[in-house]
Structure formats: structure tokens, C-alpha cells
Structure 1
């Protein structure tokens, strides 16, 4: 038994990865292999994920579209709301009448969404959650920041706290229907 434990220790120690006292951050690549570019789909159709609302929670709706949408096109489809078929499934949106424009951030994997109007809404958390979860469902978007008139905008997370930092889907995990 001692020989087996010694052998296991030697194997683990000799795996080529040095021991570290503390964890460190790892940056994953977001390169050509996992980045979709807008344009015609190679096989004819692609899936477009939109996060819609049912009973106060986010639900991913998948639409088949003929080309990979730009981030702006996907945002426009989101603000247009559910199709008749999706409404028949009880899906709605918190973004009706909202004007949004998207631009790439300085970081290659983040986008910034400019929010035009400043109206107070009771479903504000769901509205921002829809945008963040829709855009971060894309392979080429890891985070979403918000601005108004070019200035950083503080928006709510699922827990109600406000931030002007980039948001990710997990900031709204409590609102996502599994």
C-alpha cells in the first residue's frame, strides 16, 4: 500500500504543472474558433437566442434566422418583442418602446449599450437582464456595459444592487428559468 501511495505521489508531482500557493486568474481565448461573425449562415440557418419574460423570469427563446445577426440586429429583435407564436407560449418583454444602440467596447469581448430614454420602470431589473442575457448568449460577447449620453449608467443586478461595471449573465442567474 505504501508503494502505491508513493507511486501516486510521484505521478502527481511529475505532471509538469508546478505547485502554486494561491489560485490565479486564467484568461480564456475568444478567438476565431468560438466567435461568430455576422453574415450568411454557412448551412442556411443559425440559432438566435433572445431572453424573453414569462411570469417575472427570463426564458431563452431560440429563433432560426438565415444569417448570423450583428449584436445590433439581435438587440433590435429583442426590443421588437416576442413573435405571435412566442406570445402564445406566454412570453413577453420588458423592453417595449425602448431605444437601444450597441457598440463594441474597447475590450474585444465586451459591448456597450447606449440607453436613450430615462423613464422609471417597475420591471427595470428584468429589462437589463434581458439585454445582458441575450447579448452574452453570443460566443463573441462576454460582458455588457451601459451608457446614457455617453456616460456610464448604473443599472440594477438581480439582487437590486446598482453597478456601472460590465455585467455578465450570471449577474442575473436568479431570474433565469432553468
Structure 2
């Protein structure tokens, strides 16, 4: 009897102790952003099986856009999407890219690190455009499940690139290096 009473007490405690009170009706929960697995609202593109993130630019900030495709793109395909830039719908939403015309080459993924060959972007570019260019690549590729960081090379040599605060590094970069540049989509 004592054991049964102990089990009953434990069961009541566990069921009632989660901290969520009982409610008669469901209520709306506002999530911080749309799940990557749900189709976009009002999208004119066909809904695919896989969600991929492309980081575009609005008002000198990064905006993560989810595009649906039939299969998961290669790193090179994602880089090509960045260079091609926004779709018509994304352009209408004020999105752009600072990578137009830049030839980016994915050199592969080793462990969880992607290598990207980045050509000389030219000295005529504004400093913030350079930061945005690297940020677009890093934030796009690190949104992949197989990439945690990105390193840049030029002619096979490690490249020093700016973080969002303007400091230069030749170390691999993570999306956290550009987190303050991200804005909601």
C-alpha cells in the first residue's frame, strides 16, 4: 500500500509539475521566424522538397531568404545563386546582392569547413560592400547542415577578410562573425 501511494504521488507530481497550467482552449504562439521546413507565403516559385537559405542584402544588412528546391544544392550552386542575386519577387521586396559579377568557386568541404576561392574584388568597392560580400557567403554556406565555418582563399593562399566590425582575419569565419548584420526577413 505504501509503495502504491508513493507511485501515485510521484505520478501526480510529474504530470502536474511541468509548470504549464491547464487551458480550456488552444492559444496562438508567436514564433520568432518562419520554420525552414514550411513553404514561403505568397511565393510564386514551385514548392520543393528541400529548404535552402540564401543571404541577400537590404539596407546594408543581411536577410536570410528560404528557397525551396527539389534536391539539396551543392555549395557551388548556392554560391552561383548568390552571384545571380534575388528573384523578381525578392527584388520587389527590396533585396539585392553585392556579389553580382563576382566569380566565386567552392573548393570543397573538409570536416565542417568550406573553402571558397574569392577573386580580387577590386579596390573601387566601398569597404562595407566588401564586408557584405563576405558576410553573404559565410551566412549562406553556414546555414547548410554540413558547414560550420568558411575560409577564403585567393590563388590558393589564405585570404584576410573583414568581420562585421571591420577587423581582418585569415581564420575561418562563422555566421556569428556577422550576426549583428542580420535582420528579420
Displacement of 1:90 in angstroms is 0.3
Does the residue aligned with 1:171 lie in a helix, a strand or coil?
Answer: helix
The answer to whether structure 1 residue 79 and structure 2 residue 83 are counterparts is: yes
Displacement of 1:91 in angstroms is 0.2
How is 1:9-24 mapped onto 2 (pairs within 5 angstroms)? none
The answer to whether structure 1 residue 133 and structure 2 residue 139 are counterparts is: yes
Q: Distance in 2 between matches of 1:131 and 1:49?
A: 11
Alignment correspondent of 2:107:
103
If the length of structure 2 is used for normalisation, what is the TM-score?
0.70
Alignment correspondent of 1:61:
65
Q: Gaps spanning 5+ residues in structure 2: where?
A: 1-46
CA contact (8 A) 1:99 1:117 kept: no
Alignment correspondent of 2:155:
149
Displacement of 1:116 in angstroms is 2.2
Q: Distance in 1 between matches of 2:118 and 2:148?
A: 19
Q: How many residues align structurally? A: 135
How is 1:26-45 mapped onto 2 (pairs within 5 angstroms)? 45=49
Displacement of 1:118 in angstroms is 3.6
Does the residue aligned with 1:68 lie in a helix, a strand or coil?
Answer: coil
Alignment correspondent of 2:29:
none
The answer to whether structure 1 residue 172 and structure 2 residue 175 are counterparts is: no
1:113 to 116, 124, 132: 116
| Runs of 4+ residues over 2 Å off in structure 1 | none
2:95 to 78, 91, 98: 91
Displacement of 1:44 in angstroms is 5.3
Q: Distance in 2 between matches of 1:117 and 1:158?
A: 19
CA contact (8 A) 1:81 1:92 kept: yes
Q: Gaps spanning 5+ residues in structure 1: where?
A: 1-42
Does the residue aligned with 2:183 lie in a helix, a strand or coil?
Answer: coil
CA contact (8 A) 2:106 2:114 kept: yes
Displacement of 1:115 in angstroms is 1.0
Structure with the greater alpha carbon radius of gyration: 2
Q: Distance in 1 between matches of 2:89 and 2:68?
A: 13
Q: Distance in 1 between matches of 2:101 and 2:48?
A: 31
